Amino acid sequence: MNTTTKIYIAGHRGMVGSAVWRALEKKGYTNLVGKTSADLDLRNQQSVLNFFQNEKPEVVIDAAAKVGGILANNDYPYQFLMENMQIQNNLIDTALKSGIEKFIFLGSSCIYPKFATQPLKEEYLLTDSLEPTNEWYAIAKITGVKACQAIRKQFNKDYVSLMPTNLYGTHDNFDLKSSHVLPAMLRKFHEAKLNNTPVALWGSGTPMREFLFVDDMAEAVVYALENKLPEYLYNVGSGKDITIKELAETIQKAVGHQGEIIWDATKPDGTPRKLMDVSKMKEMGWQYSTELKEGIEKTYAWFLENINSVKEVKM
């Protein structure tokens, strides 16, 4: 690997992909390739094949996915299953057929069973049933992990899967209908501060979640790029979790909202706890650096600067 290696970042305009792009540029990489969804439909096999033949990338980082929170997963199960499989299958298979030796596949902690022992270890994959509210996305991501594992086993290529915990940060999706918990809360508290109103949040506030600032995730991707990791699957996270109630209070303080928080216990909580065991990545030499309070403050500052153009997803 050198700074002129041609690296294709699928999903380079998304939160994770753009963070990876920034991290690589910061380290001096000069031959980065990205295409918007308007220029390249990753769901179309022939389009992906044509792109690889024309561009001839040497490394692929797959940060492209159809993503969303509980509501979006529940309302659009088929799209979350099928479109994610189409995207990753086209990228993985075309990379293999193009002779690409290094492929980094990015997934999600939701691949692990709903009631798996905490913290979640890589070996818990496929040992029990999934969380029903996001199983469609999880099943798609599991097939991507197993495809990369199969390529490692059969063709001895350096295809590795990184499973991040809940990511947040700049360039996130702040659309209240399709976003994840942290950006949705941030937007709700901001709007409630402007309107001097209470904030209504789903669930009981008792589930525990782990969060990782997206720039830290990008550093983990760069680490995997520059090192040959000996196993096929690695968790990426902080190794720390907090309750959703604590998260809400942290965001409320960062935003400066003074009103009441109302919890709607008739709405689903999702998985009771999701904490990653990140010891394997730590043993390899990588660990996170941004604490949650600092990350939320950075995210809110970016949100305020880009408030007129924050990403909203049309389903």
314 in a structural domain: no
295 in a structural domain: yes
- Number of structural domains, the chain? 1
20 in a structural domain: yes
DSSP letter (8 states) at residue 200: E
311 in a structural domain: no
Consult the annotation and say whether 16 binds a ligand.
yes
> What is the per-residue pLDDT for 312?
54
Q: What is the mean pLDDT of residues 220-244?
A: 97
State which residues form the domain around 126.
7-305
pLDDT of 315 higher than 60? no
pLDDT of 78 higher than 90? yes
- Show which residues are catalytic: 137
132 in a structural domain: yes
Range with lowest mean pLDDT among 37-51, 58-72, 103-117: 58-72
Tens of pLDDT, residue by residue over 137-183, are: 999 999 999 999 999 999 999 999 999 999 999 999 898 877 788 99
Consult the annotation and say whether 166 binds a ligand.
yes
CA angle, 26 then 32 then 36, to 5°: 115
Amino acid at 193: K
Looking at every residue in the chain, the average pLDDT score rounds to 94
> What is the per-residue pLDDT for 31?
98
Higher pLDDT, 200 or 310: 200
> Nearest Cα to 69, choosing from 205, 173, 187?
173
Consult the annotation and say whether 239 binds a ligand.
no
179 in a structural domain: yes
- Structure tokens belonging to residue 37: 């969804």
pLDDT tier, 310 (very low <50, low <70, confident <90, very high otherwise): confident
pLDDT of 309 higher than 90? no
DSSP letter (8 states) at residue 112: S
CA angle, 46 then 49 then 50, to 5°: 85
85 in a structural domain: yes
